[in-house]
Structure 1
């Protein structure tokens, strides 16, 4: 099969013909319908995050099951699935407690070995091992994934669109609904109006927030957030984020989401909190980045800092629900997609994402 191949941060992603082995126990093979291009791949290809290379990138995607391995009983050939980059083991303490996004095996094996749940890879080139990227590797014509990472969805949903549910929608909407549990009538600030931030806006809207303030360096991006449910927009340009937000809401925010993941945006989210507020870190920074806050101010305001991994969702339950919301017209996905491109354009898609010229792109094999 053809797939994108990442080898080193100084070498552009290339398209290669790779061998893909059959699924083993509790695994399935999926023919990819579409794969999203996310900032996580930028972190990877810039060398800001470690993952064992060579590997096939892509952690957001959708497709059709073409083969099931031994032990798989909940999926059959022909099922439509959205891929989840949290293919939980189902047996560790966190999984048993219903907190699959904290799965110990994902953290200790999937995220470090470049393999699937057993630590081995199904990908190879000329007999040499090629690694998976966080258990998905969707930038390819096909993928073998753990069965818990292939979430069955309704057949009438367009696969080339609901691919976004696997990361952007689940992470952003989930952060508002599950991690923060945004309360009705509250004031919400969302810093960063990319694919994740716009979905945080949607999640806050669904929870009944009274005021949703979207903040971005780009005036156009901030204004776009109003389409997704924001009531106010702040296009910063060169302005100070904290000052601009405080000018609009002097008493501070009930919830402030960092949907970018830079040190400056994390610190800004904390500084704009009101009494009892919560800063939610959704965007992911480079490894080793550290942010500062004033503990006394945080304590006196009875405020909180929350980390949000994958929107604190339960993939097997929440991903199908998000697809249902899209089909009902309550979740906007089409408006996030700015380009559909062939797999051969993977390197160009990364460059366009880095330049800020694209919102969410899909690679369609």
Structure 2
């Protein structure tokens, strides 16, 4: 039967998250219904609220949910009521990228994560007037007290881990750490640069330390973030408002970095990252600007330097495998992502968004249940 609840609804471009009464249907087929304990707030929530990505409105966003399974559909095989879970991105599981282990590049990724409905165009949520709300945002829409997700994007986690902390592993932190571990495969003794000291960039810093990189550099314009980066494993920091990051990186590394990620979504920063690569260096692009954004680079520098540029979605992660590994690293004290997090009550979701956009908070997490 349907479950009454509260959900944070955005009804207009750039509008506030408004807490409203809503209902969510029971799970069907291979779906589960999760009582949300907490949800991380990510840059993508804001750019969709602001329609930089054209997700239909009114919508319930939220895509870093964690909680406890309340009920399961008839075709769920490996999950049960009471399981502690983290919700991640949706994928079809039958296209060529999915069947070859690259679910982050699913042919239906946009439809399953940004269309505002399930693959049949249906919604699981209705508002107080019994009108449909656009949902299935990243196959979850977890800015709500309950969320529907599929078994494939619902990751069971160790119940001894603090469930209210784990939601950001489903997107932002998975993206930064996965870019380093899965995509770039940063080597022991190598040099690594993170452009941007937000939650994604600092997750990459922690992962580079786990991988054994000997020189770990972060660039940002906020000194407090640079200070935290040193605590989390960076060996050098650069405030790009005060010094030339390209020249400084080449000086620190003796010619250029082996690996880098760009997490700011700013094309001029991406250009710096490419210019500061060493011979055969690779930069991963994880920052999401507005659709249609262009960037430039020196073709001969790329060609003669053997440099590589690659896009990375969700850290090339197989969430069912990678998220439990991150939880284990956290429990071992080797991946202290809790230092990035500040909790907000559900009623302060707009304050959390403002603090995130102004750089006051690295990773807001909304306590919901």
TM over 0.5: yes
Specify the alignment match of 2:124 in structure 1.
Answer: 122
- Pick which of 241-250 and 262-271 moved more: 241-250
**DSSP-derived class of the 2:230 partner:** helix
Offset at residue 247 of structure 1 (A): 4.2
After superposition, what is the alpha-carbon deviation per residue over 1:328-355, rounded to whole angstroms, capped at 9, x for unaligned? 2121121111x21111111111111111
Whether the aligned pair in 2 keeps the contact of 1:52 and 1:113 (CA below 8 Å) is yes
Q: For 1:247 and 1:148, how far apart are their aligned partners in 2?
A: 46
> How is 1:122-141 mapped onto 2 (pairs within 5 angstroms)?
122-125=124-127, 126-132=129-135, 133-141=137-145
Does residue 1:103 correspond to 2:106, yes or no?
A: yes
Q: For 2:68 and 2:179, how far apart are their aligned partners in 1?
A: 28
After superposition, what is the alpha-carbon deviation per residue over 1:166-203, rounded to whole angstroms, capped at 9, x for unaligned? 12221111000111111111111111111000011111
Correspondence for 2:79 among 66, 72, 75? 75
Q: For 1:137 and 1:331, how far apart are their aligned partners in 2?
A: 27
Query: Please, which runs of 5 or more residues in structure 1 have no aligned partner?
Result: none
Specify the alignment match of 1:342 in structure 2.
Answer: 345
Q: For 2:245 and 2:366, how far apart are their aligned partners in 1?
A: 34
Offset at residue 319 of structure 1 (A): 1.1
After superposition, what is the alpha-carbon deviation per residue over 1:272-311, rounded to whole angstroms, capped at 9, x for unaligned? 1110000110111111111001111101001100111000
Whether the aligned pair in 2 keeps the contact of 1:5 and 1:56 (CA below 8 Å) is yes
Offset at residue 45 of structure 1 (A): 2.2
> How is 1:1-365 mapped onto 2 (pairs within 5 angstroms)?
1-85=5-89, 87-107=90-110, 109-125=111-127, 126-132=129-135, 133-337=137-341, 339-365=342-368
**DSSP-derived class of the 2:249 partner:** helix
Whether the aligned pair in 2 keeps the contact of 1:60 and 1:83 (CA below 8 Å) is yes
Tell me the number of residue pairs that the alignment of Structure 1 and Structure 2 aligns: 362
Whether the aligned pair in 2 keeps the contact of 1:110 and 1:119 (CA below 8 Å) is no
**DSSP-derived class of the 1:134 partner:** helix
Q: For 2:303 and 2:31, how far apart are their aligned partners in 1?
A: 47
**DSSP-derived class of the 2:139 partner:** coil
**DSSP-derived class of the 1:173 partner:** helix
- Pick which of 42-51 and 141-150 moved more: 42-51
Q: For 2:63 and 2:257, how far apart are their aligned partners in 1?
A: 32
After superposition, what is the alpha-carbon deviation per residue over 1:76-119, rounded to whole angstroms, capped at 9, x for unaligned? 0000000102x222222221111111122333x21342113443
**DSSP-derived class of the 2:121 partner:** coil
Q: For 2:324 and 2:116, how far apart are their aligned partners in 1?
A: 27
CA, structure 1 residues 117+75, in 2 after alignment: closer, same or farther (shift >3 Å)? farther
Q: TM-score, normalised by structure 1?
A: 0.96
**DSSP-derived class of the 2:166 partner:** helix
Q: TM-score, normalised by structure 2?
A: 0.95
Q: For 1:62 and 1:172, how far apart are their aligned partners in 2?
A: 19
RMSD: 1.4
